[in-house]
Each structure stands twice: as C-alpha cells, then as structure tokens.
Amino acid sequence: MNELTTIILRSIAISGTATLLASAWSIPLAYLLSGSYRLRHIAYLLEALVGIPTVLVGLLLYMLLSNAGPLGFLQLLYTPQAIIIGEALLITPLITAVSYQTLKETRTRYTELALSLGATKQQAARLVITQSLPNLLAAIVMGYSRAIGELGVALIVGGNIKGLTRTITTSIALYTAMGEYENAIMLGMVLVLLTIGISLLVRLVRKRWDIE
Amino acid sequence: MGYRISLDNVSYKYPGQNRYSVSEISIKFNPGIVYGLIGSNGAGKTTLLKIIALIYKPNKGKLLYNNSDPWNNVVFYRRSIAYVHEKPIMIRASVYNNLAYPLKIRGISKEEINKRIDRVSRLFGIQDLLGKNAKTLSTGEKQIIGIARALIYDPEVIVLDEPFSNLDYHKRRILLDVIDSQASQGKTIILASHDTLMIEKISSKILVLENGKALCFGPTRQIIEKLYEYSCNS
Amino acid sequence: MNLQLKHIAIIAILLIGIVASATIFFNNNNTINVRATTTTSLYATGLLDYLGTEYHKQHPDTVINFIAVGSGEALKRAERGDACMVLVHAPSLEKEYIDKGIITYHKIFAYNYFIIVGPPDDPANISNATSLEDAMKRIYNAGEEGKALFISRGDNSGTHVKELQLWEQAGLEPQGKKWYLESGQGMGETLVIASEKHAYTLSDIGTYLKYKKDGRIPSLTILYSNDTSLINIYSAYLVSSCPEQEKAKAQGFIDFLVSPEGQQLIASYGLDKYGQPLFYPAQDKLDELQEIWNQIAGNS
C-alpha cells in the first residue's frame, strides 16, 4: 500500500473509531437529557459547545496526556488512540446536541404511544430509539465529518508522525509547509469526497428507511 | 369486566408550568357505561384522559382502579387500557406491524397475532391497508388504525381522544357499533370530543370541563339541557 | 420492523469493518518508537525522514517518530517529558535547557546558512550592504520610509530566535512597526507570504531552495548571504527524563547522525534535486562550529 492510501485509510479508521466511541456515550446521554426537564441546561451547555475550537481540545488533551500531565502515565501521547480520544471528545457536544433535538421531538410521542399500548419502560425506550434512528444516524454522520476534517487534535496530540499518526488533515498541513501544494490539494479533494460520500450513503439509507 | 375508576381531588400540572391543567377533579367511572367528556380547546380534556389512562401521574389527589392504586403496578394496568391519541401516532412500519406491536411486547405468539389482526382488520374493514406503510396513510385511516391497534389486545378500559373527528360516515358507523358492543361487554369507556352531537348520541353520562375544572357531570340528557340553558354548575 | 433490523445489521457490519481496520492499523509491532521533536524547517526538507528510513533499514527494531514543531516548542515538549530526542537550531534557547539539565549529549550534526531574501528590485538595497548590521539597518530604514516590508516568523522557532538576535546586534527594535509583520507560521508559509507581499525575510537556505525550485516564491531572491554570523547550526540532544531503553535507541540514532556514514548522507541529501546541498555535514569543521555555537548561545 502506498503512503497516501495508508494515510487515507488511517484517517477513516481513526475518525470512525472516534465517532463510534462518541456515539456510544453521546446518544445515551442525549436520551437521558431528553427525558429530564431539570437536566435541560446540560443540553443547552452542550449545544453551546458544538463549535468548540479543535486546537483548544487538542491543547487541553495534550496538557493531560503529556508526561508532565496528570494522565502522562498512560503513555498515550503521539498515538492514534490519543487522536481517537480527542476527536471523540471534540464531537461529543455535536452528536449529543443533535441527538437531543431529535430525541426530544420523538421521545414524548413514542414513549406515550408505547406506554399506552402496554410497553415496559425498556420497551418504550427501544421504540423511541428505533423510531429516531434515521435522525440519530444523521447526527453520527455530522460527528464523523467533523472528526475526519479536524486538524487541531490530530496535530497536537498525534504529532503528525509518519506511519503512525499522520492523517489526511495533518498531511495537508505538512504538504503545505513543504510547498507541495499538489499533494495537499489532492488529499483535500479526497477529504471532501469522503465526507460527501458518507453523507450521500446515509441519505440513501435514510430514504429507504424513513418512508415518510 | 372493566374497572371502577375513581378520581378524588386529582390535579396535574406540566413540568415547568405554574398553572394546573387539570385541578381538583373528583369523579367515578363505572364499567359498562360510556362516558363523554366535553369542553373547549384547552379545557383539560386530553390531560384528564392521559391521567385516567395512566400516562400522567397526578401531582395531587388520588386515582383508584377498583379501590387500588394502579401506579403500584402500572404496566399491568396499562396493558388493560386502550388509549388513543387525538392524532394517532404511527410507528415507522407497515400497518400490519403497527397492529402487531402491542401484541409483540406482550410476548404473544405469531399465530395468535395473525389471528387477532385478521379479526380486528375485518371488524374495521382495513384488510387492504395491512401491507401499507403506516406513515403514508390518510388522517382518517391513521385514526382507525390507532383505534384498532388499541382494541386488539382486548382492553378493559377504553379511553379515546376525539375518535370521530377524521372519520367518514361509514367508519363512524363502524366505530359507534364497536363502542356499543364493548360497553355491553362491561368495559369502562371514556370519550372526549368537542363534537357534542356524537357524544350525545353515544354516551350515557357527560362530564363538562372548563379551565381544568369539572363544570358539571350527570346523565347525558340532563347535561345537554343545562348546556343549552347555560346553567351548567355541578 | 424487519426492514429496520436488516438496516441495523448492515450498519453493524460496516461498524465492525471500521473497528477491524482500525485495530490492524493501531497494532504496534515489537519495535521501539523513539519520540523526537524537531524543527519544522529541518523536517519539511525531508532530510529527517530520509535519515530515519536509512537508520531503520540498519536497525529494524527502532523507529524514529519525528514530531515537527518549532524549535521553542520542541524544547518545551522535551521539558514536559514528551520527547526523547530533540533536533533543533536555536543555540541560545538550547543553552537554557542544557543549563536546566533537561537536555544532554549535545552533538552538532549539520549546518547551513541563513539568508536574507527579498524582492529582486531590492528597495532597501541590502545587496550592497557592507555588513550584516548594515543590511539590517537598511531594511529598517526602508521600512520606516514605507519602501519595504519585513516578515518575521514570530513563532519562537530557531529562525525567529536568530532573526531577533540580528536586530538586537544591529541595535534596532522593529517590533510593533507597521512594516514589520509576524506570520506565526512555518518557514515555507512565511516565504510564500514574503513573496506575495514583496517583503524581506530571514530564511534557512534549505527551505528557500526547495520552495524556489518548486516555483512557489517567484518574487523572492537571495539578497544577503555567506556571512559567517549567518551560520545555522543544527544540534541533536538526548532528553534526560527519557526512559533508558528509548534513550539508548535515541543515542544510537544521534551517533549515527555524526558517524561518517550519516554525515555522508547529510552532505549528499538534495544534491541531485536542487543542484546544491541543503545541509553541510558538521564533521569537517566541528571545532569552528562549536565555537560559533558558544558565541551565539552566550550572547543571549
């Protein structure tokens, strides 16, 4: 495999894992928030954090993971895992906020429906989730697009190490610094195609799914 | 046999609101009788129905099913209640699966499900709709599916919010017959509507709500007369 | 609902695929990774990857992970224990960290020259400058007269530190002047900015040659060079706090850099592509370089 292909696949894998991780806690969190009137302020806070700068997340995580930082003993700095954690944190507000919006809409309706038809709490929750899936999927895709397109976290905690933590965006930055604009633009195009491709795919799935 | 449902000074307010949507309602509903609930928009009809159907838990007062608190075993009681929203909510699936949903969550076998769907769809004349996507139905079709979906598990208490509003003449006739026959089987039946004509036709007793309070309650004929004379005070 | 189950299955398979490919990527072999922070200008020429690859061929158990940042940040990260080796070119900064005991095992492994580049019409007329101080004064005066711009790196990199020294030695304080712009970016980006704005800037010869060759900076030309006080010395260090095993590997790489073989690789790097070397090996004039290094380091 040539280096560019590896970089592209690595980016997909890192952002994909980060998105899975973030979804694994964001969607349950959104579900929790959507059901509580008192916790709505947390949802507002997360909404406000949707646009949090990637370099800030990267810097804070660097301070944590650095050997001089409190989590230095984990030896995660300059690893793909560090980027995964950073990107997962970065997109948590986004996935949670968007999921919260859609769950808040569907939750009352479908919970009431399920309960009125005799469902247990768990059965009602399952109905809410399955009915919200198309929109939750859209939230996940948004998170993925932000993760794969971000630079700050990957550069600061990943270190742009060749063959280990070099991603599409850090390569673009490096190629730009090296004056090799052709490669930078090529990777930029790949990035755009990747995000467009994924959202088209999801649109297709949603269309078959969301038969409204 | 349906339940005797009694409300004693029941009040409910939505989270984050100051005003009670339903306040200090005391009333008894007996099996085998059709009750009509009338009142203008915002009078608290839907809220009261949801309290009776165990969807909202009252903030104040006591609600009893046959002298026991249904909230102590709420899923059990809900499984014997049919509650149909004013605008029935359809699950993103076929009509068949919408009808099957309440049975599936009760762990009923596939054969039994097919049998019941067959029976209820013949009763309401909706055999042609079974394979259709429930989300694409007309409002009237959704209404009848919603009612069929709630009656399929043979509930003891039937609570319907504006059941007639979107039905055509033919489907109204069917629904009236179904309600009559359910009442004669001893079910407890409560209907809300602002269609006074339909309520007058089907119910034996009427409760009039205004601003979340019970304005008057009594036999249909008596209440209708009072309403005409604007002398409704209980 | 069956329809939905099918979709969920498809998505699950996709996700499993992603995770599977992820684990393949993140599986580290039995090699030891040596964390090396380094200056962007050095890394961007490609020299380090070239040397790292050559070294890895001979020592398959060692992989050098280069983390390209400015010299200032490279040393800062070393101080926080996030690097085992540093490759930098800012003697005065290096001295501070040596004194603090953060870095040891100093080896000068290469040098080249800083150059002052600017628009070919040379509005400050520095190509006729009699000395480095004179050149800086000419830029300053032309700037004050509104005839010239100067782009500073402004990022605490080796080049930036050098530039600040040049102004200081000429007794000038350009900071805050409106003809003095700080880019805050790497050498390459700064050269492009200087070219676009027809401005002067200080650059290392390596980055300049690479950008010039690729046609990125048509409006820049070398206006002042070949001054011994513009010498640019690249040093390698071990970081004291580094774990022993990694440190031993790092030391192996540094020894390789200053070995005759490593020096030969440095001397020939870029020769075929740019027609002249980007870096000179340090071995021929090590004493002289050490003396200059001491001078620069002591001056601050």
CA distance A97 to chain C (A): 22
Q: For an interface test with A, which of B105, B147, B157, B161 has the most A Cβ atoms less than 10 Å from its Cβ? A: B105
Q: Which residues of B touch C4 (CB under 8 A)?
A: 92-93
- Chain length of chain B: 234
Could you give the percent of chain A with pLDDT greater than 90?
63
Give the whole-angstrom CA distance, residue A46 versus residue C170.
53
The pTM assigned to this predicted structure is: 0.78
- Chain length of chain C: 300
Lowest model confidence (mean pLDDT) among B185-199, C11-25, C56-70: C11-25
DSSP symbols for C227-281: -GGGEEEEEEEEETTS-HHHHHHHHHHHHHHHSHHHHHHHHHTTHHHHSS-SSEE
Contact between C90 and C157 under an 8 Å Cβ cutoff? The reply is yes
CA distance A76 to chain C (A): 10
Nearest to B101 among A109, A115, A117 (CB): A117
Q: Could A180 and C82 be called an inter-chain contact, meaning their C-beta atoms sit closer than 8 Å?
A: no
Contact between B204 and B173 under an 8 Å Cβ cutoff? The reply is no
What is the phi-psi region of residue B163: left when phi exceeds 0, alpha when psi lies from -120 to 50, beta otherwise? alpha
Nearest to B136 among A110, A113, A211 (CB): A211
Statement to judge: residues C165 and C223 lie in one domain: yes
Q: Which residues of A touch B106 (CB under 8 A)?
A: 118
Nearest to A117 among B54, B133, B149 (CB): B149
Q: Which residues of C touch A137 (CB under 8 A)?
A: 11
Measured between CB atoms, does A208 come within 8 Å of chain B? no
A50-73 burial by CB neighbour count: b if 16+ within 10 A, else e? bebebeebbebbbbbbbbebebbe
Backbone angles phi, psi at B130, to 5 degrees: -50, -40
Measured between CB atoms, does C206 come within 8 Å of chain A? no
Q: What is the β-pairing status of strands B34-38 and B205-210?
A: parallel
Which architecture characterizes domain A3-211 according to CATH?
A: Orthogonal Bundle (1.10)
Statement to judge: residues C124 and C220 lie in one domain: yes
Statement to judge: residues C166 and C129 lie in one domain: yes
User: Is the residue at C2 inside a domain?
Assistant: no
Contact between A71 and A65 under an 8 Å Cβ cutoff? The reply is yes
> Token digits for A119?
């469902």
Statement to judge: residues C125 and C170 lie in one domain: yes
Statement to judge: residues C122 and C167 lie in one domain: yes
User: Is the residue at C145 inside a domain?
Assistant: yes
Statement to judge: residues C106 and C147 lie in one domain: no
Residue range C86-100, pLDDT digits in tens: 999 999 999 999 999
Statement to judge: residues C105 and C237 lie in one domain: yes
> What are chain A's partners, defined as 3 or more CB pairs within 8 angstroms?
B, C
The total number of structural domains that make up chain C: 2
Containing domain of residue C62, as a range? 28-112+232-297
Q: Could A130 and C82 be called an inter-chain contact, meaning their C-beta atoms sit closer than 8 Å?
A: no
User: Is the residue at C82 inside a domain?
Assistant: yes
Query: Domain spans of chain A?
Result: 3-211
- Type of residue numbered B197: L
Q: Determine the pLDDT at residue C207.
A: 87
Measured between CB atoms, does A113 come within 8 Å of chain B? yes
Contact between A141 and A134 under an 8 Å Cβ cutoff? The reply is no
- For the segment A183-206, the average pLDDT, to the nearest whole number, is 89
Mean pLDDT of all residues belonging to chain A: 90
Which one has a higher pLDDT value, A129 or C13? A129
Among chain C residues, the shortest Cα distance to B98 is held by C1
CATH of the domain at C68: 3.40.190.10
- pLDDT < 50: residue spans in chain B: none
ipTM confidence: 0.90
* Paired strand residues for B38: B208
Statement to judge: residues C42 and C106 lie in one domain: yes
User: Is the residue at C51 inside a domain?
Assistant: yes
Nearest to C82 among A14, A67, A164 (CB): A67
Q: What is the β-pairing status of strands C32-39 and C62-69?
A: parallel
Give the whole-angstrom CA distance, residue C68 versus residue B106.
62
Among chain C residues, the shortest Cα distance to A171 is held by C44
Statement to judge: residues C118 and C225 lie in one domain: yes
Give the whole-angstrom CA distance, residue C115 versus residue C136.
12
Strand, coil or helix: what is C35? strand
Residue range B30-70, pLDDT digits in tens: 999 999 999 888 899 999 999 999 999 999 999 999 999 99
End of a domain among C230, C254, C282? C230
Give the whole-angstrom CA distance, residue C236 versus residue A203.
53
- Rg from Cα positions in chain C: 23
Q: Could A113 and B89 be called an inter-chain contact, meaning their C-beta atoms sit closer than 8 Å?
A: yes
Tell me how crowded residue C291 is: count the other CB atoms within 10 A of its CB: 11
Q: Could A120 and B149 be called an inter-chain contact, meaning their C-beta atoms sit closer than 8 Å?
A: no
Statement to judge: residues C73 and C61 lie in one domain: yes
> Token digits for C275?
């027609």
Q: Determine the pLDDT at residue C214.
A: 85
Statement to judge: residues C178 and C199 lie in one domain: yes
Give the whole-angstrom CA distance, residue A107 versus residue A100.
10
Statement to judge: residues C171 and C184 lie in one domain: yes
